Amino acid sequence: MTISTKARYGLRMMVVLAEHYGKGPVLLKDIAKSQSLSEKYLSRIVIDLKSAGLVDSFRGAHGGYALTRRPEEITVRQVVWVLEDPAPVECVRNAGVCDRVSSCPTHEVWHILDQAIYATLEKITLDDVLAISRHRSEQTMYYL
């Protein structure tokens, strides 16, 4: 199972916005530069995040993007689900795509996996991702 670049880059963007929470909006070009991502690609991703109510845009000299809620109130699941459907197989979310769902010997396996993914991503907030990132940075040792 692979998470798309759209979800991965979108989450990275959201983490940058979480880092700047309460300090004002961040320009898309600054996010793109800090994360070595395409500004054009981020501009498409931010549309979905804005439509979902996770980010807001601001115009003018001090414009850019900002989170609509505190980083501890936004889960990784919310971000990923906006940008892609990480269901392991299509029939987990849409039983109508397969006429064997009720008799399929593996359907329940995919349902259990889907629930585990959901529960795991729902437990992790943007604030948690920031804390993990900070901890990793502090643990980095430099040898000369």
- pLDDT for 118-136, tens place per residue? 999 999 999 999 998 887 7
With a pLDDT cut of 90, the percent of the chain lying above it is: 66
137 burial type by CB count under 10 A (0-12 exposed, 13-18 middle, 19+ buried): exposed
How much is the pTM?
Answer: 0.86
Q: Which helix (H) or strand (E) holds 56?
A: strand 55-58
Measured over the CA atoms of residue 115, residue 74, residue 84 and residue 38, the dihedral's sign is negative
* Domains of the chain, residue spans: 5-139
30 burial type by CB count under 10 A (0-12 exposed, 13-18 middle, 19+ buried): middle
Rg (alpha carbons) of the chain, rounded to whole number: 18
Question: Hey, which CATH number is domain 5-139, 1.10.10.10, 1.20.950.20, 3.90.1300.10, 1.20.1300.10?
Answer: 1.10.10.10
- pLDDT for 44-89, tens place per residue? 999 999 999 999 999 987 789 999 999 999 999 999 999 997 778 8
Residue partners of 2: CB distance under 8 A and separation at least 6: none
Q: Does residue 98 register a pLDDT over 90?
A: no
Task: Give the residue from 16, 2, 112 showing the smallest Cα distance to 55.
Answer: 16
